[in-house]
Chains A and B, each alone.
Chain A
């Protein structure tokens, strides 16, 4: 069995009287893209900082790429990434930023593959422009390129999708998918649930420094309660009747959907939804769209992270 890329047990980290991480357990397998989600102040950036070796845990045990992290800045080799945005120097061009980093690591900038990583993140056209004029999305992509330059085995990214336009997002997703396919582990945090769902095989949800869920996305969706789904059919009226007659399915009046529209919102668990589709087909009603109004991850996120508030 492979050594996990990240293994945390009871990791606790405090800033004065503030408990940023409280007994966090985490396992990330090698070659996996692992998402870290949670509300602001949940401890995501602190946990990513520990993985990068910026600090050490006050309590607990953390192993990164099989090496225990004992003191700050002594993380295992092969870890790269950024927290709180990429560190770039605005007075240097994109290429100069990467060349300076390559030289810092004792590599010849001409042989470090700077052109290749710039191409991979879609910044070839602006390679010789000063970073001062870059948008947030371009900086994010250059930060990713800087991390790629070190050929990491564990890539740690804090909100890598911030500020990305669709084209930039496509570049970043393609790079991360390729890295994972080649065996690199990626741990990323994001507030964009669609990104996490599109990229990650597993996810950890943090709330107030504690892990409230960690595991595959599929497990997350089955564990949650029933969801609302948008249902678009060839005959909305008939579909409404069928839905009302189906067990385990409720028709919801969604104020966001205008009266007379062809869209119906139904609330059901996955088995009930499967039955509804079968009934619709038997009634000769074509199903044109069936999608969750709120993604399973987002629903779980809201349910799990708002729970402690309700308990208070």
Chain B
């Protein structure tokens, strides 16, 4: 190596290209043992978890699709998706995006990086893209591993949707993959919040924890009886709204709104992070971010975005109530019951009967009919009625419902025992609980019309 001699031609320094900066950031990220460990864990642990749980007699029935884990290989990945939205994805984005800027503060390498790259914008873009790449790799691992574990342990069997209808393995596969793709939007929002925290707080642990703290706060908010417009305006709703893909017709309205909101949060948080990064004075060793700056440049724009999205959703849809009305509950329960009745009929080797023939209806009341017939609660009670061909009598069964504020519910059979009591039925994979005993359902929070519900519906 020789240095260029005196009198060499003068050249203005050119910033490093974004693609080279991206590769540089990726090399640094993938060299960290923590990131390597995460990648390995995300590609192996879900398969082990799903396979192990699917083989047990006691299933996680309090989780959506948990009760189907030993019936079809597609349920395990969805159980994992529910868990990932609450815990895994916020944590993963924290560890990757929440540290990507702070790591340079911790290592004291900012000045080196700036001299080497010579462009704030390209450094920011390269870091954001590299952390996004790693996060996508982790999410892909969670999805693929969970699916593989379920298929290997249980098999490629039909999946019962949240309306009770059986989805063919191919249909289930498409919807499961689509559900994972949908949660990329809120994951992006959390990743951008991670970038914001990493830029704003420097080496402070608060920056690393920000996505987890925000995700926890948003999840707690989803547990509150908020108006639908507020619920949909929070980026975390997309972690819940994917369940709408597993009804017929799919509940796409809330899902698309939630995805749009998540992407808006991702853009605003990333822009705020960039502005904070650009304003930082790297020549001043004492300048490493401040809480006041983070509040003004980071939290306020996001609060403004939340207010704006609430206003837009409220203005575009009449959705300032809970979204859980008596009609919707009745339609949902009757539809699910009719589909699951057919499943039970098949499992008990009885003559098939169609949903149209059943003409199931439900009469639901909340709080014994005394309260307002609206909103979440575990005091919903439904009486389902149905008809059988060539039988004059009308069948009737009772369910107790626990409806959560996000529209999901568990229907618990309360008799007659022969219809919705607990007993084992024979399935191709062994004995399983009566499908009409307990089942999960989903009430669409946005206003709906009763179209597409076949012959199942509410009481006239």
Contacts and interface: CB of A to CB of B under 8 A. Distances in A.
Contacts of A75: 13, 118
Interface string A23-63: 00000001100000000000001100110111100000000
A67 B10 contact: yes
Contact of A104 (B16, B281, B282, B285): B16
A76 B27 contact: no
B281 to A, nearest CB: 7
A87 B114 CA distance: 10
Interface string A58-88: 0000000111000011111111111111111
A66 B2 contact: no
A27 B116 CA distance: 25
A106 B119 CA distance: 15
B286 A15 contact: yes
B350 interface: no
A90 interface: yes
A149 B1 CA distance: 8
B426 interface: no
B4 A183 contact: yes
Nearest to A55: B283
A49 B4 contact: no
B6 A87 contact: no
Contact of B284 (A15, A30, A79, A88): A15
B107 interface: yes
Interface in B2-60: 2-8, 10-17, 20-21, 23-24, 27-28, 31-33
Contact of A65 (B10, B20, B112): B10
Interface on chain B toward A: helix, strand, loop, or mixed SS?
loop
B107 A87 contact: yes
A76 B12 contact: yes
A76 B112 CA distance: 16
Contacts of A113: 1
Contacts of B2: 151, 182
Interface string A102-132: 0111100000010011001000000000000
Nearest to B119: A73
A108 to B, nearest CB: 13
B20 A31 contact: no
A146 B117 CA distance: 14
Nearest to B28: A89
B119 A31 contact: no
Contact of B10 (A31, A76, A104): A76
A148 interface: yes
B88 to A, nearest CB: 24
A11 to B, nearest CB: 13
Contacts of B117: 104
Q: How large is the interface on A (under 10, 10 to 19, 20 to 34, 35 or more residues)?
A: 35 or more
A184 interface: yes
A307 to B, nearest CB: 27
Contacts of B282: 54-55
A269 interface: no
Contacts of A66: 10
Given A103-B23, A184-B3, A53 B13 contact: yes
Given A73-B120, A104-B117, A151 B20 contact: no
A55 B8 CA distance: 25
Contacts of B13: 53, 74-79
Contacts of B114: 54, 73
A92 interface: yes
B391 interface: no
Closest 8 CB pairs of A and B: A87-B112, A55-B283, A87-B109, A184-B3, A183-B6, A183-B5, A77-B11, A91-B31
Interface of A: 2, 13, 15, 30-31, 45-46, 49-50, 52-55, 65-67, 72-92, 96, 100-101, 103-106, 113, 116-117, 120, 146, 148-149, 151-153, 155, 179, 182-184
29 contacts: A15-B287, A30-B7, A50-B283, A52-B111, A53-B118, A54-B114, A55-B283, A73-B120, A75-B13, A75-B118, A77-B14, A78-B8, A78-B10, A82-B115, A84-B285, A86-B112, A87-B110, A87-B116, A90-B107, A92-B27, A92-B31, A103-B23, A104-B21, A120-B1, A151-B4, A152-B3, A153-B3, A153-B8, A183-B7
